[in-house]
Amino acid sequence: MFNLHLSLHPEVQAALLENRPVVALESTIIAHGMPFPQNVETALRVEKMVRESGATPATCAIIGGKLTAGLRTDEIELLGKEGAKIPKASRRDLAYLVSQGKHGATTVASTMMIAHLADIRIFATGGIGGVHRGAATTMDISADLQELAQTPVAVVSAGAKSILDLGLTLEYLETMGVPVVGYQTEDFPAFYTRRSGFGVDFRLDSPMEIANLLKSKWEIDPRGGVLIANPVPEEHQLDADWMEKTIAEAVAEAEKQGIRGKAITPFLLATIENLTGGRSLQTNIELVLNNVRLGAEVAVALWRTEPVK
């Protein structure tokens, strides 16, 4: 658990020392994924839900150059209020931000890294990054996929963000040997909608079944993670055809403005929110809460199986 650059909130440290279940949470969703004040409100609701489900929340970020697992409320508020002024930090950015003593909002990839350093096995988020549309020419592929291939943390998400090329994203995960588990579904969810038309590798119907798979996976090979695909609740999903048209319009606008690199996902999410009159934001909030609930249940189940260290 010890690392020179790692800082643990006392609540998180106590839970880890006492071998109690902990769930990692990302902070890019706070600084870049939602507007203020919904971002702070959602982050605090998420942490409350983890606690009510029997686990300890560990929201991750870089605070003053420290890789931090577990944030104080004032730190969450700082990320929410500063928003895009806080650097979006993936794997490549960590050394720079740490060496400069700066803040950073962690992506899926960097949250997985911090969770692994802290010996946290379960991480719940909204949706992972993946292969972007047009990647055959842009080579825009999220570092999240490589992190899943090499870092032993299970990620609970509503699939991959539907702004991506979901087929190529799943092909990449298959090539890298990352199991994609559908929770009570055989269809890979598409973030705002429950179905994408693509299948998952395995369907499991309970948190304990998922915990047993994770335990077996890491006993066989301690490397690499697992993607747990948890569809957005049916009452909160958006119409698939409408969302596809909306996403295409947002992608076209990004191309028109020359938006590239790490700026593309926040731009697309904000544009989609505007085009849907805020409905996409509400769905985003609900799917995050749904994923966090499942993440906590899996963390508790894994703890009951005597999790592998």
74-109 pLDDT per residue, tens:
999 999 999 999 999 999 999 999 999 999 999 999
Q: Give the tens place of pLDDT for each residue, 47-66.
A: 999 999 999 999 999 999 99
Average predicted confidence (pLDDT) for the chain: 93
DSSP helix/strand/coil, 200: coil
Res 309: pLDDT: 47
Encoded amino acid at 54, one letter: G
Q: 306 — alpha (psi -120 to 50), left (phi > 0) or beta?
A: left
CA pair distance 143, 90, nearest whole angstrom: 7
Q: Supply the angle between the helices 279-304 and 207-220 in degrees, to the nearest 10.
A: 60
The per-residue pLDDT for 1 is: 58
| Ramachandran sector of residue 191 (left: φ over 0; alpha: ψ -120 to 50; beta: rest) | left
Average pLDDT for residues 277-299, to the nearest whole number? 95
Is 308's pLDDT higher than 60? no
Phi, psi dihedral angles at 222 (to 5 degrees): -70, -5
Residue 70 has pLDDT above 90, yes or no: yes
φ, ψ of residue 169 in degrees (nearest 5): -60, -45
308 CB neighbour count, 10 Å cutoff:
14
What distance, in Å, lies between the first and last C-alpha atoms of the chain? 11
The residues pairing with 126 across neighbouring beta strands, listed in sequence order, are none
For the chain, list the domains and their CATH numbers: 6-304 (3.40.1790.10)
Rg (CA), the chain: 18
How many Cα atoms within 13 Å fall on the side-chain side of residue 5?
20
* pLDDT over 70 at 307, yes or no: no
- Based on the residue annotation, tell me whether 215 is a catalytic residue of this protein: no
pLDDT at 34 over 60: yes
- Residue of 88, 147, 161, 262 marked catalytic: 161
Could you confirm whether 161 is annotated as catalytic? yes
Nearest to 231 by CA among 273, 265, 201, 187: 187
Q: Is the pLDDT of residue 71 over 50?
A: yes
For the entire predicted model, the pTM comes to: 0.92
Q: What's the CA angle centered on 204, arms 207 and 145, to 5 degrees?
A: 90
